[in-house]
Amino acid sequence: MSTQIHDLGYRSYVGERAGVAWAVRSLAVHSMRRALGLKRAGKHKIVPAITIALAFLPAIVMVGLSAFLPDFGVSDLLGYGDYYGAIFWALFLFTAAAAPGVLTTDRTTGMLAMYLASPLNRTTYVLAKAIGLFSVMLLVTVAPIIFLVVAYTFVGAGPGGPLDFIEIMGRALVAGVIAASFYTGLGMFVSSIPKRWGIASVSIIGSLIVPSIVTSILTEGANTTKWVMLASPADVIGKAWQHIFADVTDTGLAIDQLSGSVVVLVAIGYAALGLALSWWRYQTIEVER
């Protein structure tokens, strides 16, 4: 048995060098696919599919009722401002499923080190992940409400004219983008702390539910100041959604007593804070190879 040695020498890379922008785009697209469970085992597609379906379900039900039941009037329809309250569990579950799947595996498998050895640095890595997760979150925050507006228009229960239609669509985009930004930032930051997917998912749900319960107890039971409600991000985002649509419902909570402009500004602040904390976390996170 003889051994052959082939001296091939050093071969330089002769392909196209697309640069940082292409790397960000590629990782963002990969993150979107991973969040939706695409090109993965069937079990990874179940939760995203169910939560997206749940986000569209109230709109489909309302349109169906208004189209097929003559006695179902416009006043009986679900308002645009109330739509967040109808799908908040879908938002919670989708964030808890998508964000950890996009981020935690990079740390446990060592892929984070490989990404940072590419043209990406810590900032562009976070940017790519945020773009990917944010784009998917729009399927739950913006797409259903736009579908609702269009569907209401077709059944004669929508905006009164072209200008009203454009205005409502603009409000839908603003409300949906703020909500998507918040859940993207929250999901990324919380998922950057534990290494296990399950712990990150539970932590995301807890970070949304616990502040809501605590602030409600303090304001309703202990009669503390109404401003305490601003410490509940989920309630702030929901109330901001209503104010953006100019369709505010009195829920009986202390947050109803706060100015709409204040609530909207705090909602924007929460969205920016989550994204900023995610960036900061990945500037200091230890990379394991």
Q: What is the pLDDT of residues 107-151, one digit of tens each?
A: 888 888 888 888 889 999 999 999 999 999 999 999 999 998 888
Q: How far apart are CA 289 and CA 284, in angstroms?
A: 16
* Residue that the structure tokens 């925050």 belong to: 141
Number of compact structural domains in the chain: 1
Query: Is 88 contained in some domain?
Result: yes
Q: What is the pLDDT of residues 250-286, one digit of tens each?
A: 877 889 889 999 999 999 999 999 999 999 999 988 8
Query: Is 196 contained in some domain?
Result: yes
* Residue that the structure tokens 């999901």 belong to: 187
pTM of the shown model: 0.88
Is there a contact between 241 and 84 (Cβ–Cβ < 8 Å)? Answer: yes
Query: Is 4 contained in some domain?
Result: no
Query: Is 238 contained in some domain?
Result: yes
Q: Which domain holds residue 236?
A: 20-284
3-state class of 109 per DSSP?
coil
Query: Is 266 contained in some domain?
Result: yes
Query: Is 9 contained in some domain?
Result: no
Q: How far apart are CA 28 and CA 119, in angstroms?
A: 14
Query: Is 32 contained in some domain?
Result: yes
Query: Is 213 contained in some domain?
Result: yes
